[in-house]
A and B are shown apart, each in its own frame.
Chain A
Amino acid sequence: DGGITQSPKYLFRKEGQNVTLSCEQNLNHDAMYWYRQDPGQGLRLIYYSQIVNDFQKGDIAEGYSVSREKKESFPLTVTSAQKNPTAFYLCASSIGGRDTQYFGPGTRLTVL
């Protein structure tokens, strides 16, 4: 099956620890995105990548880092510098930067 996978679905970490969220797609899409969603709110863009080895900051990049070493993978690291990391994290991909975005199932991160 083609699609976008995110793992794990639920993740718990202690305050002060870095944590990496996985996002993989087998749709052969060039562009990939990370969004954050807080309860009762819309999505906010963290980072996006239009092509391998290139990525740009979104609206709320502070405290996060990404890499895009392979076309199919776009991992997100939530660092200890992120003040409020507890949230629902969504990964998306699109054929090109201007095309329809398709979303993964999300990872719910809770920092204790």
Chain B
Amino acid sequence: DAKTTQPTSMDCAEGRAANLPCNHSTISGNEYVYWYRQIHSQGPQYIIHGLKNNETNEMASLIITEDRKSSTLILPHATLRDTAVYYCIVRVKNTGNQFYFGTGTSLTVIP
């Protein structure tokens, strides 16, 4: 399984863009990059996923490097409600159906 590496914690000023990095240097060609977030004591919330191209939806943008070894989740205008733990996950395609959640990045949005 491709493993991911994320910073343990980050701060971001309210209203500014939050850029959350993720390294996945052993990713294979058919594995997608997924992002979820989890607010304290709630279930994880799906944010976005991608394979090669950059992706954008109403919540965030996902930028994947050309070599696919790293990616960045961008929250364009962070609010206090974006304070959460953000998980970067590389999806195992061929063996089982598991999402391997690590410890993620704890993002704190500061007023």
The residue from A98, A100, A106 contacting B41, defined by CB atoms under 8 A apart: A106
Query: Judging by beta carbons under 8 Å apart, are A41 and B103 in contact?
Result: yes
Given contacts A41-B103, A42-B104, A100-B49, contact A106 B98 (CB under 8 A): no
Residue on B nearest A103 in the bound complex, by CB:
B43
Which of chain B's residues 86-111 have a Cβ closer than 8 Å to chain A? 87, 91, 93, 96-104
Nearest CB of A to B108, in Å:
16
Q: Which of A53-107 contact B (CB under 8 A)?
A: 56, 58-59, 88, 90, 92, 94, 97-98, 100-106
A55 smallest CB distance to B (angstroms): 11
Q: What are the residues of chain A within 8 A of B91 when measuring CB–CB?
A: 98
- Among candidates B44, B97, B104, residue contacting A97 with C-beta atoms closer than 8 Å: B97
B residues near A, CB below 8 A? Answer: 34, 41-46, 49, 87, 91, 93, 96-104
Interface residue ranges, A against B (CB under 8 Å) = 4, 6, 31, 33, 35, 40-45, 48, 50, 56, 58-59, 88, 90, 92, 94, 97-98, 100-106, 108
Which 9 pairs, one residue from A and one from B, show the smallest C-beta to C-beta distance?
A: A103-B43, A42-B101, A43-B101, A97-B97, A42-B102, A103-B44, A45-B98, A106-B43, A105-B43
